[in-house]
Structure 1
Amino acid sequence: HNVLGGQPKSLPVIEEADEEVKRKVTLFRTIEDFRKLDEVARKSESITIIGGSFLGSELANSLNRRFGKQGLQIRQASFDIFREKGNIAEILPQFLSKYATSELRKSGVNVMSEKELKRVTVDENGKLRLQLATGEIINTDHIVVAVGISANTDLAKSCGLEIDP
Structure 2
Amino acid sequence: MQTQTYEYLIIGGGMVADAAARGIRERDQTGTIGILSADVDPPYTRPALSKKLWTDPDFTWEQVPLDTEAATGAEIRLSTLVTAIDRSAQTVTTAEDEVFGYRRLLLATGSTPKTISAPDDERVLFFRSAEDYRTLRELAGRGGHFVVVGGGYIGTEIAAALAGNGVETELVFPAEVLGDDTFPSGLARRYEDLFRNGGVQLTSRSRVSEVREEGNAFHVVLDSGEELRADVVVIGLGADPVIALADAVGLATDDGVLVDEHLVTNDPAIWAAGDIAEYPDPILGRTRVEHVDNAEEMGAAAGRSMAGEDVPYAHTPYFYSQVFGTRWEAVGTLDPSKDPLVVELDEDRSVVYYRDESGAPVGVLLWNVEKARDLARAVLTDRVTDPERLRLRIT
Same fold (TM over 0.5): yes
1:74 CA displacement: 0.3
1:162 CA displacement: 3.2
| Correspondences of 1:62-141 after superposition (within 5 Å) | 62-66=161-165, 68=166, 72-78=167-173, 83-124=174-215, 126-141=216-231
Equivalent residues of 1:52, 1:77 under 8 A apart? yes
Q: In 2, distance between residues paired with 1:32 and 1:162?
A: 32
Q: In 1, distance between residues paired with 2:249 and 2:136?
A: 37
Q: In 1, distance between residues paired with 2:213 and 2:190?
A: 34
Q: Higher Cα Rg: structure 1 or 2?
A: 2
Deviation per residue, 1:61-119 (Å, 9 max, x gap): 111111x2xxx3101111xxxx2233333222222222111110111101111113234
Q: TM-score, normalization: structure 1? A: 0.79
Matching residue of 1:46: 145
Runs of 4+ in structure 1 deviating by more than 6 angstroms, as ranges, are none
Equivalent residues of 1:53, 1:147 under 8 A apart? yes
**5+ long unaligned stretches in structure 1:** none
**Higher strand fraction (1 or 2):** 2
1:157 counterpart SS class? helix
Matching residue of 1:160: 250
Equivalent residues of 2:122, 2:135 under 8 A apart? no
Equivalent residues of 1:53, 1:87 under 8 A apart? no
**5+ long unaligned stretches in structure 2:** 1-106, 256-395
- Picking from 158, 175, 189, the partner of 1:59 is 158
Please report the RMSD computed on the Cα atoms of aligned residues, expressed in angstroms: 2.1
Equivalent residues of 1:56, 1:76 under 8 A apart? yes
**Higher helix fraction (1 or 2):** 1
Deviation per residue, 1:16-74 (Å, 9 max, x gap): x444xx443101123332221010111231111111012211111111111x2xxx310
Distance 1:10-1:118 versus aligned 2 partners, 3 A rule: closer
Equivalent residues of 1:3, 1:151 under 8 A apart? no
Identity of aligned residues (%): 26
Q: State whether structure 2 residue 109 is matched by structure 1 residue 4.
A: yes
1:3 CA displacement: 6.0
1:10 counterpart SS class? coil
Equivalent residues of 1:130, 1:139 under 8 A apart? yes
Matching residue of 1:29: 128
Distance 1:7-1:65 versus aligned 2 partners, 3 A rule: same
Q: In 1, distance between residues paired with 2:139 and 2:251?
A: 41
Q: In 1, distance between residues paired with 2:191 and 2:149?
A: 16
Q: In 2, distance between residues paired with 1:159 and 1:135?
A: 43
Distance 1:46-1:98 versus aligned 2 partners, 3 A rule: same
Q: In 2, distance between residues paired with 1:52 and 1:29?
A: 15
Q: 1:122 corresponds to which letter in structure 2?
A: E
1:63 counterpart SS class? helix
Distance 1:88-1:32 versus aligned 2 partners, 3 A rule: farther
Distance 1:3-1:99 versus aligned 2 partners, 3 A rule: farther
